[in-house]
Amino acid sequence: MKLYQKLRLENLELIQQEVLNYYKENPPALEANREVFLKISPEDLPITYATLNKRTRTEITEISTCFVPAGISTGAHIDGIQKRSDISEERLERWISYVNEKDYPTRNASDDHFFCNQWSFVIPIENCEDSANCWYYNEDVSNDNQWISRNVRKEWPYEYDVSFITNPENVKIQDKTTLDYPTIIKSNVYHNVDNTKNKNTRVVLVVRFIEDKDYMSADDYFTCEDIKI
């Protein structure tokens, strides 16, 4: 299974400058020892949104910026939960109501994809050369070696789950890469960012999409055959 696809995305320098200009005008509140995610409205990134939207086969649901401080590794995680059994019936009913609120298509994804983002599009903005995206084997993560962070926020979809590995030293790295190009990455495989060798804060843009079925590759999300690396 391919875990990522790098792309020669057009307008990359314009996108990077647009994001940096946004944070010059809206300085982020960062922390010294942990990553910070900040959501940005598409209206604030018109070049970025237009560039992505014309190639998107589904629909963009969220654009965020991720700041990873120098000298740390983020917690290995998946963007959701692995198993249907890890979510309560009450939580399931609320989740269905959120989907209905947006009038999104019926979800036809299999159970192991239903409650987890399958892929995300990550765009390097600044200081990504001395860091690595790493993936681990899901089958190495037992039930007693994970914990689920349940989060609530004011923006849609209001609730989201992130599953972390409790003891990452007990799992093996499956693959890793430097984010030197915009890259669609597998996010329902345990992954993290190793920024330990970097002397600067790593800044990337993270784009998420509607997932109403099983998506097997980057091509399912994006018209990208002409820009693959």
Residue 20's alpha-carbon distances to 48, 49, 89, 148, in angstroms, are 12, 15, 42, 32
Q: Give residue limits of the domains in the chain.
A: 4-220
Instruction: Identify the three-state secondary structure at position 26.
Output: coil
pLDDT, average across residues 74-101: 69
pLDDT, average across residues 109-129: 82
Closest CA to 115 of 155, 151, 160, 154: 160
% pLDDT > 70, the chain: 80
DSSP conformational letter for 74: P
Q: Which residue has the higher pLDDT, 156 or 167?
A: 167
**What digits encode the pLDDT tens for the residues 20-49?**
999 999 999 998 889 999 999 999 999 999
Residue 87 has pLDDT above 80, yes or no: no
- Apex CA 205: angle with CA 102 and CA 5, to 5°? 95
Residue 59 has pLDDT above 80, yes or no: yes
**What digits encode the pLDDT tens for the residues 162-202?**
888 888 887 999 999 999 999 999 999 999 999 999 999 99
Domain covering 4-220 in this structure, CATH number: 2.60.120.10
Mean per-residue pLDDT over the chain, rounded: 86
**What digits encode the pLDDT tens for the residues 41-58?**
999 999 999 999 999 998
- Stated as kind and residue range, the H or E segment containing 57 is none
Which pLDDT does position 152 carry in this prediction? 66
- The arrangement of strands across the sheet holding 159-165 comes to 146-152, 159-165, 77-78, 191-194, 132-136, 173-177
- In whole angstroms, what separates CA 76 from the centre of its chain? 12
